[in-house]
C-alpha cells in the first residue's frame, strides 16, 4: 500500500526528529502529544533544525516552508486514526505504550499500519494488544533522527510480508537505510551498544578508570566519535537502564545485569544532558566529569 499520511505519537526528541524527516520527505504528518507545550516546542525545534539546513545549503527556503506546512499538531489521539501509518515514539515504558495503542485502536482505519519506535521492547507483545498484529512492526530510528542513517525494522511473530515490504519502501523514500532484526530483546544496535555502555559504567564503578580516562580511551583507542559515558549522557541514563533491564529480564543472563552505579545515577535524577547532570555536569560552559 502507498503511505501518504503519517501519525507520530510523542513530541519529544525522537518524535520531533521523525516528524521532521517525514515532512521533509513529502509526507503529511500529524504530530500528537498530550502536552500542547511539548508540541509547540517540537515545532520550534523542527523549524530551527530546518533553518540550520537552509543556512548550510542542504535545504532550500522554499522546501523548508513546504515541509513545515505539512506538519499539523493534534492533542486528540483519535485524529491519528485516519492516517496510513502510525509511529509511536512515547517514553520507553511498556505499560504506557500498551495504553496508547489501546486508546488508538478503536479509531483506526482498516488499512492503517501500526509501528513502535521502541528501542528494546518486544514487538510481538505490543502487537498482541492491538486488533492488527499482522500490520504491526518495530520501526526503530536512531538519535538524532535527521542525521542518523539507520532504521531498524523489526517483525513480530505475526507481521505479514506486505507490511514489511511497505515499510522497506518508506525507509527508502525518507533517504535512510533499513536493517532487519528479529524480535528479541533490544534488537541489533542496542543489544550490542548498551551492554558496552553498561560495561563502561562498571569500569568506572570498579575504579579501573575515571569518566575522562574511560571516554578518552574509547575515543582514541577504538576510534569512537564519542566515549561510552558521554554517549550514555546523550542517550539518557534512564533509557540505558531501561534497555539493560529489558535485556536482563528477557534473556535471563547475568552478563546483562545493570551496573549499580547506573541505577544510582538514575535514582538521583542525573539522567544526562536532558537534566544537565549525568556522568558529566553540563551546567557550566564546558561539561565537567562528575567522577
Q: List the catalytic residues.
A: 119, 140, 152, 190
The helix, strand and coil proportions of the chain, stated in percent and rounded to the nearest 5, come to 50, 15, 35
Phi/psi class of residue 283: alpha, beta or left (left: φ > 0; alpha: ψ in -120 to 50)? alpha
Cell numbers placing 118: 521502541
Cα dist from 89 to 61, 179, 235, 239, whole Å = 28, 19, 15, 13
The answer for residues whose C-beta is within 8 angstroms of residue 128's C-beta and 6 or more apart is: 158
- Which residues fall within 8 angstroms of residue 87, CB to CB, at 6 or more apart? 6, 7, 8, 9, 18, 115, 116, 117, 139
The binding site for NAD(+) consists of 10-15, 33, 92, 97, 119, 143, 274
Binding-site residue numbers are: 10-15, 33, 92, 97, 119, 143, 274
Query: DSSP code of 29?
Result: E
Specify the residue for cell string 509526507. Answer: 27
Task: Tell me the CA distances in angstroms from 164 to 81, 114, 134, 155, one per residue in order.
Answer: 20, 11, 10, 7
Q: Are the CB atoms for 291 and 210 separated by under 8 Å?
A: yes
Residue 4, Cβ neighbours under 10 Å: how many? Answer: 11
Q: What is the DSSP letter of 285?
A: S
Amino acid at each position: 500500500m502507498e503511505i501518504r499520511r503519517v501519525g507520530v505519537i510523542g513530541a519529544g526528541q525522537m518524535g520531533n526528529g521523525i516528524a521532521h524527516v517525514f515532512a521533509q520527505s513529502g509526507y503529511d504528518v500529524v504530530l500528537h502529544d498530550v502536552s500542547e507545550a511539548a508540541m509547540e516546542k517540537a515545532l520550534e525545534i523542527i523549524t530551527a533544525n530546518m533553518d540550520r539546513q537552509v543556512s548550510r545549503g542542504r535545504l532550500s527556503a522554499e522546501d523548508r516552508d513546504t515541509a513545515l506546512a505539512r506538519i499539523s499538531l493534534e492533542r486528540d489521539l483519535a485524529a491519528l486514526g485516519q492516517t496510513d501509518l502510525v509511529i509511536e515514539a512515547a517514553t520507553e515504558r511498556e505499560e504506557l505504550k500498551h495504553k496508547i495503542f489501546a486508546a488508538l485502536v478503536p479509531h483506526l482505519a482498516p488499512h492503517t499500519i501500526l509501528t513502535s519506535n521502541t528501542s528494546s521492547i518486544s514487538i510481538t507483545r505490543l502487537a498482541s494488544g492491538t486488533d492488527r498484529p499482522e500490520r504491526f512492526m518495530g520501526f526503530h530510528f536512531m538519535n538524532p533522527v535527521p542525521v542518523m542513517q539507520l532504521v531498524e525494522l523489526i517483525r513480530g511473530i505475526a507481521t505479514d510480508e506486505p507490511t514489511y515490504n511497505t515499510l522497506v519502501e518508506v525507509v527508502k523514500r525518507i533517504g535512510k537505510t533499513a536493517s532487519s532484526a528479529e524480535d528479541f530483546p533490544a534488537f541489533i544496535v542496542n543489544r550490542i551498544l548498551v551492554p558496552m555502555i553498561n560495561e563502561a559504567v562498571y569500569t568506572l564503578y570498579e575504579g579501573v578508570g575515571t569518566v575522562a580516562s574511560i571516554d578518552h580511551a574509547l575515543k582514541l583507542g577504538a576510534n569512537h566519535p564519542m566515549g561510552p559515558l558521554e554517549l550514555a549522557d546523550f542517550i539518557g541514563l534512564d533509557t540505558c537502564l531501561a534497555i539493560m533491564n529489558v535485556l536482563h529480564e528477557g534473556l535471563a543472563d547475568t552478563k546483562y545485569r545493570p551496573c549499580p552505579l547506573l541505577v544510582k545515577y538514575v535514582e538521583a535524577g542525573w539522567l544526562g544532558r536532558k537534566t544537565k547532570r549525568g556522568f558529566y555536569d553540563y551546567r557550566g560552559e564546558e561539561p565537567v566529569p562528575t567522577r
